[in-house]
């Protein structure tokens, strides 16, 4: 990998650049270390709404001109919000990086937050909430975290609620941005055919005057409770999440959970996929994933099955939990799983967007570059004994909760 170069502007904005000379493009990310977990009780969903609003027009560009400024030059533009960060990003040709930085910076710093546009965009998000509820395979994941973590900030849905979203005013938006969109929370990262000098010049011209000083609150670790929540809905399948608390990004057994997750449900060769889909044909999709945040995390098995198979699927998931608690992974299985994870990491580095995302998350989380070799070594160092220890700590029946949406009786 090429060396990642880092500078800090006078106001505290961080800039990361990974030059990759053999490509003809660049991926640009303008990040703010703010997400739904930073919202006050009366701000549920405001971070996500702001992400929408920054595309709606600035002092010098209309919404259409924002899109045309990137897409008209052969690039693409998008954004996302999660529980701890927000990212506005674009792909550009190599000779259009300065324009990409200018457009993203203009959106972040000079958006109009027009009242009519806000009212219209609140309607868009309300439709997004309705769509999510109408898609039980998506909605069950949000419900699962809400049920497990309750009122903890990491348990709140990123999208907010219909009541909260409909209540926001331009003043609410500006107040939140004044509090969270501060220089030390802002990171510009670029990976591709660029030089540090051209990115520095573009960053200083656009981001150098963001005010600084903000305060981040420390979060307590969310502690989930075992429960079973079945929501009756007129659908054909039971859509489910079965899970427990996981690791934070800082925990020493973070990579142990990554390996255990992959062995249980991270691929077509995983235990759950082979046992429940391939061997028995009880599901179309089944898998698992981890969520790791600064103060905690979750491990979740998910899928969809016919109501007549729901009890059996739960028993089979429990059986796989019990097996990995008792004996971990077989030697060949462990080696294959590590190779699968490591291969995915290396293959992802073929893309500039993945490189940009990787170095950005490392900086926001660990405040340093983590060489891919270091990551691969930590994966390789995971032992079967550590998997058994972690499994016994998090997968016992009295710690696991279940959330399901399906055609259950009203009894």
Active-site amino acid positions = 51
- 8 Å CB contact between 58 and 111: yes
Spell out the alpha helix ranges (H) of 328-351: 331-348
Q: Which residues on neighbouring strands pair with residue 78, listed in sequence order? A: 89
Q: Which residue has the tokens 């996981």?
A: 246
- Rg of the chain over all Cα atoms, to the nearest angstrom: 22
CA distances from 308 to 99, 280, 304 (A): 56, 14, 12
Strands 238-245 and 25-32: unpaired
Q: What single DSSP character describes residue 274? A: I
Q: What is the per-residue burial (b if ≥16 Cβ within 10 Å, else e) of 38-49? A: bbeeebbbbbbb
CA distance linking residue 174 with residue 243, whole number of Å: 38
- Helix residue ranges, H only, 168-234: 170-180, 196-207
Q: What H or E segment, with its residue span, contains residue 305?
A: strand 296-305
In SS3 terms, 72-121 reads as CCCCEEEEEECCCCEEEEEEEEHHHHHHHHHHHHHHHHHECCCHHHHHHH
Contact 156, 166 (CB under 8 A): no
Q: 277 near 286, Cβ under 8 Å?
A: yes
Residues 52/116, Cβ–Cβ less than 8 Å: no
Measured in Å, how far apart are the chain's first and last C-alpha atoms?
Answer: 59
Taking the CA atoms of 291, 292, 298 and 299 in sequence, report the sign of the dihedral they define: positive
């Amino acid at each position: 990998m090429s060396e990642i170069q880092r500078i800090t502007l006078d106001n505290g904005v961080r800039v990361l650049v990974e030059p990759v000379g053999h490509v003809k493009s660049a991926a640009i990310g303008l990040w703010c270390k703010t997400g739904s977990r930073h919202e006050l009780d009366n701000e549920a969903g405001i971070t996500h709404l702001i992400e929408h609003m920054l595309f709606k027009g600035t002092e010098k560009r209309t919404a259409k001109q924002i899109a045309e400024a990137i897409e008209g030059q052969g690039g693409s533009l998008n954004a996302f919000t999660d529980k701890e960060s927000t990212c506005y990003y674009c792909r550009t040709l190599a000779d259009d990086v300065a324009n990409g930085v200018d457009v993203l910076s203009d959106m972040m710093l000079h958006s109009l937050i027009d009242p009519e546009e806000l009212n219209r965009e609140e309607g868009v998000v309300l439709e997004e909430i309705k769509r999510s509820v109408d898609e039980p395979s998506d909605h069950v994941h949000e419900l699962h975290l809400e049920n497990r973590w309750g009122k903890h900030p990491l348990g709140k849905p990123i999208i907010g609620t219909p009541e909260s979203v409909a209540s926001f005013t331009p003043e609410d938006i500006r107040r939140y941005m004044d509090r969270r969109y501060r220089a030390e929370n802002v990171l510009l990262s670029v990976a591709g055919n660029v030089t540090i000098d051209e990115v520095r010049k573009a960053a200083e011209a656009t981001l150098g005057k963001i005010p600084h000083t903000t305060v981040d609150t420390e979060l307590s670790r969310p502690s989930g409770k075992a429960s079973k929540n079945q929501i009756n809905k007129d659908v054909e399948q039971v859509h489910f999440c079965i899970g427990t608390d996981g690791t934070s990004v800082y925990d020493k057994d973070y990579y142990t959970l990554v390996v255990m997750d992959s062995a249980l449900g991270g691929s077509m060769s995983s235990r759950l996929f082979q046992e429940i889909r391939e061997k028995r044909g009880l599901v179309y999709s089944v898998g698992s994933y981890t969520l790791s945040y600064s103060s905690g995390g979750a491990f979740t098995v998910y899928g969809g099955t016919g109501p007549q198979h729901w009890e059996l699927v739960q028993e089979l998931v429990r059986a796989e939990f019990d097996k990995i608690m008792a004996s971990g992974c077989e030697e060949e299985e462990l080696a294959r799983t590590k190779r699968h994870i490591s291969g995915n990491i290396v293959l992802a580095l073929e893309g500039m967007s993945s490189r940009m995302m990787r170095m950005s998350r490392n900086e926001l989380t660990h405040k340093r570059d983590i060489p891919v070799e270091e990551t691969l070594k930590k994966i390789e160092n995971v032992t079967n004994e550590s998997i058994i220890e972690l499994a016994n700590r998090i997968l016992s029946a009295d710690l696991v909760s279940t959330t399901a949406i399906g055609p259950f009786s009203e009894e």
